[in-house]
Amino acid sequence: MTNQSLSLAGTPAASPLGYFSWTFGQAARDPYYIMVVIYIFYPYFSNTVVGDPIKGQALIGYITAAAGFLLAFTAPFLGAIADKDGRRKPWIIATISLMTLGALSLWFVEPDNQGINLGLSLLILFAIKVCFTVSEVFHNAMLPSVAPVNRMGLISGLAFSLGNIGGLLLMLFVLLAFSMPGTQPWAFLPEAPLFGIDQSAHEHNRIVGPIAGLWMLLFTLPLLLFTPDGKSSSLPMWQVAQAGMRDVVQTLKHVRHYANIAKYLLARMFFIDGMVGVLTFGGVYASGTFGWDTTTLLIFGLCTSGSAMFGAYIGGRLDDHLGSMRTLQIAIGTSSVVLLTLVSVQPDTVLYVVQVGSEPIWDSPYFASAPEIFYFCTNQIFAMFFVTGLSSSRTLMAKISPPEMATQFFGLFALSATVTAFLAPLMVATATDFFDSQRMGFASLALLMIIGAILLMQVKEEQGTVAKTTEL
């Protein structure tokens, strides 16, 4: 058996059906994040359900912070317990089931507390956020044991590509079936939204929850059916839990032994926060700068998902060719430059000083001026390198973690993007207020990426080993 047919865990890799089915776990989850969190439901929740964009954004921030706080105290222990038990699928089944129920219930989150009240709505969004991250931890932790060493970058990139394909297809469906009918006299559009969807009741915003939930349930099935799981421990669950918790304590006691991983997780806290912040605030900046409406932002998001899909595939190829570390460094550096290019755009200016005018340059209701087109195109470049960075950061984590502790460390990996998730929004808000400039607030995210890139220079791309005292 050649090394190329082995996984990082040192065991025979799964069959192609097994490891390609693993990618559908990402394809199942990501459309929820794309449609609900970034482009459609969260903006609707903030602006319409809460009725105050500032208060709505603050409430969403509190949800994220509270979820991060809870996960900080639970995810590493859950991961360690799963490492001892050997199985990840039961955790995935439980979290996906809860997320599906939560996503379906978003249909009843109506304005003016006519359906689910605000408090219960916040609780549902909080629960989905926690389950999303826990599901991600256990799904990511399967990668080192099922993927061949020489195809890990490709498989990780393909997973992100499929996630963005799903988001793209579903956003296109929502756009053409529910959002645009009745707003444009185009022949290919229905005269009215399909299935009796009432735009005045914001049903075209609320329907994305059930759509994402059903999609999640359906596309998790290939992972559950065809990707092999670890072997279950013969010990009772309470003993497995005890052993897992002891492992976490031992890991913390021997943090020097895992210094390389700790440095990587610290670096990732910064550069991922910055990159996710650009994705999150890119539409907000464009909306404030150009006055883009919901339909324009949907088109913007749809195209961005397409670019991300392409970037994930190319990034996976680069990862296998150049290595995870070098690919990640390229992604962070390029993302920083692209952000500084995005903030150079104003309604009549590009690249800070080039005056191009704000008048339409073609007959289109969307992206009509030169600055809008420039911003749109530049953001597509960011989307490609953003997902390349996400994919390579996951592959690098798999390569430097001890295979026996994969789920525990992937729990910490998830926390590195969750515990400090408040940092990017706080930096944007603080810089915006201090400079009284949306541009300066958005540009401040480059600082996080630069700090992360500097810290990443201290990390070595080498696989860690288990400290001897953690062996039971």
Distance CA 203, CA 339 (A): 34
pLDDT tens-digit map of 408-421: 676 667 656 655 65
pLDDT value for 357: 84
Task: Please give the C-alpha separations between residue 159 and each of 25, 306, 342, in angstroms, as whole numbers.
Answer: 8, 14, 27
pLDDT at 472: 38
d(CA 154, CA 321): 10
Regions in the chain scoring below 50 on pLDDT: 1-4, 470-472
3-state secondary structure of 51: coil
- The letter for the amino acid at 97 is S
Residues 131 and 99 sit within 8 Å (Cβ to Cβ)? yes
Distances (CA, A) of 347 to 23, 297, 439: 40, 16, 12
pLDDT of residue 313: 77
- Quote the tokens at residue 459: 């990390």
Q: What is the CA radius of gyration of the chain?
A: 22
The DSSP-derived string for 144-164 is HHHS-GGGHHHHHHHHHHHHH
> Which tens digit of pLDDT belongs to each residue from 338-391?
999 998 988 898 888 888 888 888 888 788 899 999 999 999 999 989 888 888
| Closest residue by Cα to residue 246 from 42, 399, 84, 387 | 84
H-helix segments, 4-88: 16-32, 41-44, 53-85
Q: Which two tokens stand for residue 132?
A: 């999303």
Give the total residue count for the chain.
472
Q: What string of DSSP letters covers 338-364?
A: HHHHHTT-BTTEETTTEE--SSBSSS-
The tokens of 365 are what? 């209701």
CA angle, residues 316, 128, 313, in degrees to nearest 5: 10
Cα four-point dihedral sign 338, 343, 348, 350: negative
Give the Cα separation of 172 and 188 in Å (integer): 13
- Contact of 232 with 85, CB cutoff 8 Å: yes
Q: In this structure, which long-range contacts are made by residues 300-304, counting pairs with CB atoms below 8 Å and at least 24 apart in sequence?
A: 300/376, 300/379, 301/34, 301/38, 301/39, 301/171, 302/168, 302/171, 302/172, 302/175, 303/376, 303/380, 304/379, 304/380, 304/383
Highest CATH level, class, for 15-226+236-465: mainly alpha
What local confidence, expressed as pLDDT, does residue 3 receive?
42
Distance (Å, whole) CA 130 – CA 419? 12
Q: Which residues is 6 bridged to in the sheet? A: 12
Token pair listed for 426? 């706080």
Cα end-to-end distance, the chain, whole Å: 29
